[in-house]
Amino acid sequence: MLDGDWLAETGTEIRSVLKVMVDAGWLPGGTAVVGTDSMWEFVAVGGIGEAHGHHLAAPDVRYDAASLTKVMATWPLVGRAVAEGLIGLDAPLGAYFSGGPYPGGRVTVRQILTHTSRLNPVAWLERYVGTEQDLAEAILSEPLDEEGYRYIDRGFILLGLLLERLLGAPLDRLAGELWSVAGMASTGYGPLPRSSSVAPTERRIPGTAPVWGVVHDEAAALMGGVSGHAGAFTTAIDLGVFARDLLRVHAESHRRRDPFSHYVQQSWRPQVPVDEHFSRGLAWLVTDEGLVYHHGYTGVSLFLHPATGRYVGLLTNAVHHGRRRTGLCDLRAAVRASFTD
């Protein structure tokens, strides 16, 4: 199928599914960017769910990116640090954090990126509030679980803390510089002013205001809204810029042969089998058909297809109407199917 036809058909399918979800009251609305190297188009359906007036979803509305923060901030920053020789993918964390020895000091960066770190899978950080212990030391000092694949936020929390120590700057500043160079002017960590340009997430207690302009993830909120696993906000426009740039790096990697291009290549190859349908690369999920993607809890996703240079960025606040996020799996499945039809 020609790229232009694929863009039109995929955009129509996403618009149709989003409209069904909005009409059913499953989510307030959403936006998407559907693109290739030379073309893109945007989809916007419904509103943002703000209680004081009806504001429409749009490509420039900022959404809580949730776990897309892992691949939009932490993963590329780790890649830059690897390229500069500051981090070794197979070096144990104990080589970078003083003190110990800690059980978690044996964990490597690669194991964190592939979610085989054996760190505690529970992301709650409430137990550390009011203590004197440094968060990185607290996480590293806990016993490791059994070997195997488990999706773990704490590893990316550690990577964010590690990047700050090695690079000598707060994570939001490091990521902000990365996004600024890429031309992603509307991407950044919160807090953001409550306005029609920011989509609220969950109303956690009936009769109160929704979480709006501040991170939805509770662990990231306890860290001041800035973490390696969550906290970023972005737009469909910026998500398209990010996707396009990454696909270009991958497409040119055979000519460039620089360390970061090699890192991207490694990241988009299967590293750890998850089930019969997909594997985990470095941070990203990889299907047998070569589709690379990542999701975020609030209702966001990014899909990349290196073989064709096609991508879809999906931004919704599906969690606005509750954590069941009805219909979100079907929406994501429709997007995945568009790359294989």
On whether both 191 and 162 belong to a single domain, the answer is no
**For the chain, what is the radius of gyration of the CA atoms?**
19
What residues contact 159, with CB distance under 8 A and at least 6 apart? 74, 78, 109, 112, 228
On whether both 131 and 24 belong to a single domain, the answer is no
Of 171, 195, 217, which closes a domain?
A: 171
Query: Is 176 a member of any domain?
Result: no
Output the pLDDT for position 53: 58
Whether 198 contacts 61, CB under 8 Å: yes
Whether 83 contacts 169, CB under 8 Å: no
On whether both 100 and 25 belong to a single domain, the answer is no
Residue type, 69: T
Residue 263, phi then psi, degrees to nearest 5: -65, -45
What residues contact 299, with CB distance under 8 A and at least 6 apart? 27, 30, 315, 316, 317, 318, 319, 325, 328
On whether both 139 and 202 belong to a single domain, the answer is no
Output the pLDDT for position 50: 65
Whether 217 contacts 297, CB under 8 Å: yes
DSSP string spanning 208-277? Answer: SPPP-SS-S-HHHHHTTT--SSS-EEE-HHHHHHHHHHHHHHHHTHHHH--HHHHHHHHHTS--EE-SSS
Query: Is 15 a member of any domain?
Result: yes
Tell me how many degrees the CA angle 113-33-239 measures, rounded to the nearest 5: 40
On whether both 235 and 274 belong to a single domain, the answer is yes
On whether both 165 and 215 belong to a single domain, the answer is no
Query: Is 178 a member of any domain?
Result: no
On whether both 64 and 197 belong to a single domain, the answer is yes
Rounded distance between C-alpha atoms, residue 168 and residue 201, angstroms: 32
Of 171, 201, 223, which closes a domain?
A: 171
Of 125, 150, 171, which closes a domain?
A: 171
Other Cβ atoms less than 10 A from the Cβ of 265: the count is 16
On whether both 199 and 289 belong to a single domain, the answer is yes
pLDDT tens digits for range 95-115? 999 877 899 999 999 999 999
Rounded distance between C-alpha atoms, residue 178 and residue 184, angstroms: 9
* Residue ranges for the chain with pLDDT beneath 50: none
**CA dihedral over 144, 89, 182, 34, signed as positive or negative:** negative
Task: Determine the number of helices (DSSP H) and then strands (DSSP E) in the chain.
Answer: 12, 11
Helices (H), the chain: 3-23, 68-69, 75-83, 109-113, 135-140, 153-167, 171-182, 218-222, 236-251, 253-256, 259-267, 328-338
On whether both 98 and 49 belong to a single domain, the answer is no
On whether both 28 and 165 belong to a single domain, the answer is no
Query: Is 328 a member of any domain?
Result: yes
Query: Is 76 a member of any domain?
Result: no
Query: Is 27 a member of any domain?
Result: yes
| Inter-CA distances, 173 with 169, 183, 188, 295, 316, Å | 7, 15, 9, 24, 26
Query: Is 81 a member of any domain?
Result: no
The count of structural domains within the chain is 2
**CA dihedral over 334, 33, 261, 248, signed as positive or negative:** positive
End-to-end CA distance of the chain: 9
Average pLDDT, the chain: 95
Output the pLDDT for position 100: 73
Output the pLDDT for position 276: 87
On whether both 328 and 203 belong to a single domain, the answer is yes
Residue 135 belongs to domain spanning: 86-171
Which residue shows structure tokens 């490597």?
Answer: 108
Rounded distance between C-alpha atoms, residue 168 and residue 144, angstroms: 28
Output the pLDDT for position 1: 87
Output the pLDDT for position 254: 74
On whether both 92 and 63 belong to a single domain, the answer is no
Query: Is 122 a member of any domain?
Result: yes
CATH number of the domain bearing residue 16: 3.40.710.10
- Tokens at 273, concatenated: 């089998």
Output the pLDDT for position 23: 96
Which residue shows structure tokens 């790096």?
Answer: 249
